[in-house]
Amino acid sequence: MGNSYIPSSVRLERIEEETDDTRTFFFDRKIDSRPGQFLEVSVLGYGEAPISINSSADENLRLTIRSVGNVTGAVHRMKPGDEMGIRGPFGRGWPLDEMEGKNLLIVAGGIGLAPLRAAILDIIRSRERYGNVALFYGARSPELIIHKKELGEWAKEMDVKVTVDVCDEYRKDICSAWKGDVGVVTTLFDKYRIPEDSTAFVCGPPVMMKFATKELLKRGFTMDRIYVSLERHMKCGMGMCGHCQIGGRYVCKDGPVFSVAEFVKWAEKPEEMEGVL
């Protein structure tokens, strides 16, 4: 086994725009990973950032990255042919093996659809292994929806509902063409049928995960049937430095995917609950 502190290099092949500040980057090789795992991505002179693996096992590596700072900004300035470093894959992903025969509700907000893409493709590839599957996806406005083309494809295999927070006068040009729902993603819980006795996979901004969790609990979901993928400040990515520690656990190694039941047991302080309850 190689040294997990030493990055290996990947070459960028092409880039697809998702939104104004978010792009999907396609690289030259496959990574042996499970849906929901992440990489530590490094650009020489800028540092490292944890980024979820967007590709399924049979695709070359792809990463969907929003430009928010140092490293992600440097990745956005890369051109096809440029190389960057990766370490990993790290972490525990979505518990798909435990979902065999079960119904699933996937709830995503904004760029939170990116860490769920590999799980969605795995489910579609072995569709017969699962019961009813619904994907509820919310974005702030139509132009902020990512993986737009694929959403239509996925709708052939599962119940896909997409909503936007706002479509008002101010956004008339964009919103006149919008045919989906309007309202935050949790409003879909009352508008559409949630597969019976389903397990929920939730990923999005902390405030969205918090409200989605609360609303699911109100609708009879138990904490062990709600999984969230958490974002915390990370350095090593593999349980060595303690940066991402919550209670006695490490988000990088023991997560980033946790059931709410596990999380509630481990979290010791109210601020550690951010993005969960």
Ligand X SMILES: Cc1cc2nc3c(=O)[nH]c(=O)nc-3n(C[C@H](O)[C@H](O)[C@H](O)COP(=O)(O)OP(=O)(O)OC[C@H]3O[C@@H](n4cnc5c(N)ncnc54)[C@H](O)[C@@H]3O)c2cc1C
Site residues, ligand X (CB under 6 A): 38, 49-52, 64-66, 68-73, 111, 114-115, 231-232, 234, 256
Residues that bind ligand FES (CB under 6 A): 234-237, 239-244, 250, 252
Q: Are 205 and 113 in contact (CB under 8 A)?
A: no
Nearer to ligand X, 78 or 175 (CB): 78
275 binds, among ligand X, ligand FES, none (CB under 5 to 8 A by kind): none
Nearer to ligand X, 63 or 167 (CB): 63
Q: How far apart are CA 189 and CA 136, in angstroms?
A: 8
Our CB check for ligand X shows the closer of 111 and 188 to be: 111
Q: Letter for the amino acid at 255? A: G
Task: Give me the least distance between CB of 238 and ligand FES, in Å please.
Answer: 7
Based on C-alpha coordinates, what's the Rg of the chain? 18
Which residue number, 207 or 240, has a Cβ lying nearer to ligand FES? 240
Binding at 146: pick from ligand X, ligand FES, none (beta carbon under 5-8 Å per type): none
Q: Which does 72 bind (CB under 5 to 8 A by kind): ligand X, ligand FES, none?
A: ligand X
Q: Which is nearer to ligand X, 115 or 142 (CB)?
A: 115
Choose the one of ligand FES, ligand X, none that binds residue 239, judging by a C-beta under 5 to 8 angstroms depending on kind. Answer: ligand FES
Structure tokens at 18: 């998702």
Q: How far is the CB of 39 from ligand FES (least distance, A)?
A: 13
Between the alpha carbon of residue 173 and those of residues 19, 143, 177, the distances in Å are 16, 11, 8
Nearest approach, Cβ of residue 23 and ligand X (Å): 9
Using CB atoms within 10 Å of the CB of residue 170, give its burial: 0 to 12 exposed, 13 to 18 middle, 19+ buried: exposed
Burial code (b: 16+ CB inside 10 Å, e: under 16) for 68-96 equals eeebbebbbebeeeeebbbbbbbbbbbbb
> In the complex with ligand FES, which residue's Cβ is closer, 48 or 181?
48
| Token duo for residue 19 | 């939104």
Please name the helix (run of DSSP H) or strand (run of DSSP E) that holds residue 17, with its range, or none.
strand 8-17
Query: Shortest Cβ contact with ligand X: which residue?
Result: 69
**Peptide bond just before 89 cis, omega within 30 deg:** yes
